Amino acid sequence: MELDIREIKKIIPHRFPFLMLDKVIDVQPNQKLIAIKNVSIDEQFFIGHFPQEKIMPGVLIVEAMAQAGCIYFYYSKNLHGKNCVYYLAKVEAKFFAPVVPGDQIRIEVSTIKLMPKVGFLKTQAFVSDRLVAEAEIGFSVKEL
């Protein structure tokens, strides 16, 4: 199953300039999710990070992975039609290579442990086939 930006915005509350996903290309509940973030030179954070050598901040790569994790949780826990907020609770991240304008990040999400209102996920970010970051992410979910 694929999701475009309109469908993503129905699931997570993030909006410009903090919506970090462009599309989801595959969702298999309780198994995996694959999402895409296109990195444009026009991203606001490139103004100051860094002017001479533009690099996407690692914290924003983690944020993109966390947003993909929220969508994975939404489908894995069958939260269809529910308005939820996701609170980041834990991050253990590693970074292996810089992400620069023009890159396309492919984010892969899988389960470590899912409970009714808490999730622990394994996330990886790739540019082409090169692993650029990985993180174990934990969060809680609150229905509004």
pLDDT range class, residue 81, cuts 50, 70, 90? confident
Question: Which SS3 state, helix, strand or coil, does residue 96 take?
Answer: coil
HSE, CB side, 13 Å, CA atoms: give it for residue 98. Answer: 9
Whether the pLDDT of residue 20 is over 90: the answer is yes
Residue 73 has a pLDDT of 96
Mean pLDDT of the chain: 96
The amino acid at residue 141 is V
pLDDT surpassing 90 at residue 18: yes
Tell me the pLDDT tens digit for each residue of 89-119.
Answer: 999 999 999 999 999 999 999 999 999 999 9
Give the span between the Cα atoms of 74 and 30, in whole angstroms.
10
**Residue 65 φ then ψ, to 5°:** -65, -40
14 is catalytic: no
Comparing 50 with 109, which gets the higher pLDDT? Answer: 109
Set 49, 100, 106, 110: catalytic member: 49
Is residue 29 predicted with pLDDT exceeding 90? yes
In angstroms, rounded to a whole number, what is the distance separating the alpha carbons of residues 112 and 132? 20
Residue 66 has pLDDT above 90, yes or no: yes
Q: Average of pLDDT values for 20-30?
A: 98
Sketch out the chain's domains with CATH numbers.
Answer: 5-143 (3.10.129.10)
